[in-house]
Amino acid sequence: GENVEQHPSTLSVQEGDSAVIKCTYSDSASNYFPWYKQELGKRPQLIIDIRSNVGEKKDQRIAVTLNKTAKHFSLHITETQPEDSAVYFCAAIGYSSASKIIFGSGTRLSIRP
Amino acid sequence: NAGVTQTPKFQVLKTGQSMTLQCAQDMNHNSMYWYRQDPGMGLRLIYYSASEGTTDKGEVPNGYNVSRLNKREFSLRLESAAPSQTSVYFCASSDRGANQETQYFGPGTRLLVL
């Protein structure tokens, strides 16, 4: 069945450094790739997304890149800050309204002061 | 707008008891979803409803039933709770029909089955 693999499962970076989280997907029909941030005890919230007709999207310190040929996409956070500490989930969704959203297993990002 | 709301926030059940988790959204979204999240794990889809009147199984449907009561409400029922169903349950909604796939999550229900 469809699958989304996410790496690494945990990531610790020095404050101010960059963090990169990578996901690969198996369903070639996937065309929408959101990233969610979940702080401890809170609900997941969308932070950025990208569609298959775009290779890169940026929003301030956050960027997402997509390589459709290789079926992988990545989240880049620059100039990390303590409030970036959270669990990040990638996901992939197909075009059909009946397509299920498949989440990656999550990356726990810790920012060291 | 309240967004997506869930009740209850917390629940403790004994093995074999039944309960219904309630979810409502006020964003006029077509699609609604139920996920479970086990400690340190990702989100696993239990059931979803692509539109009012339809429901479909997700990745882990066993032991659960759902009802799409109307466009706003989507409930999840545990008929005979088991300790393996101890988890945090999230409801979400999206407007898939309008190609708006962003999912908006409720605050979650923490369920403990003893």
Least confident of A65-79, A90-104, B58-72: A90-104
Most A-contacting residue of B29, B103, B109 (CB-CB within 10 A), to test interface = B103
Amino acid at the residue A29:
A
With contacts defined as CB-CB under 8 Å, which chain A residues touch B41? Answer: 105-106
Contact (CB, 8 A) for B34 and B100 = no
With contacts defined as CB-CB under 8 Å, which chain A residues touch B107? Answer: 42-43
Distance CA B4, CA A45 (A): 12
Least confident of B9-23, B49-63, B93-107: B93-107
Instruction: Check B96 against A97: CB less than 8 A apart.
Output: yes
- Cα distance from N-terminal residue to C-terminal residue, chain B: 36
What average pLDDT score do residues B42-54 get? 90
Instruction: Check A49 against B45: CB less than 8 A apart.
Output: no
A88 token code pair: 């990040």
With contacts defined as CB-CB under 8 Å, which chain B residues touch A106? Answer: 41-42
Instruction: Give pLDDT, residue A99.
Output: 63
Amino acid at the residue A82:
P
Q: Which of residues 50-89 of B touch A (CB under 8 A)?
A: 50-51, 56, 58-59
Taken as a whole, chain A contains a residue count of 113
Say yes or no to pLDDT of B52 above 70: yes
Instruction: For residue A16, give how far its alpha carbon lies from the nearest alpha carbon of chain B (Å).
Output: 26
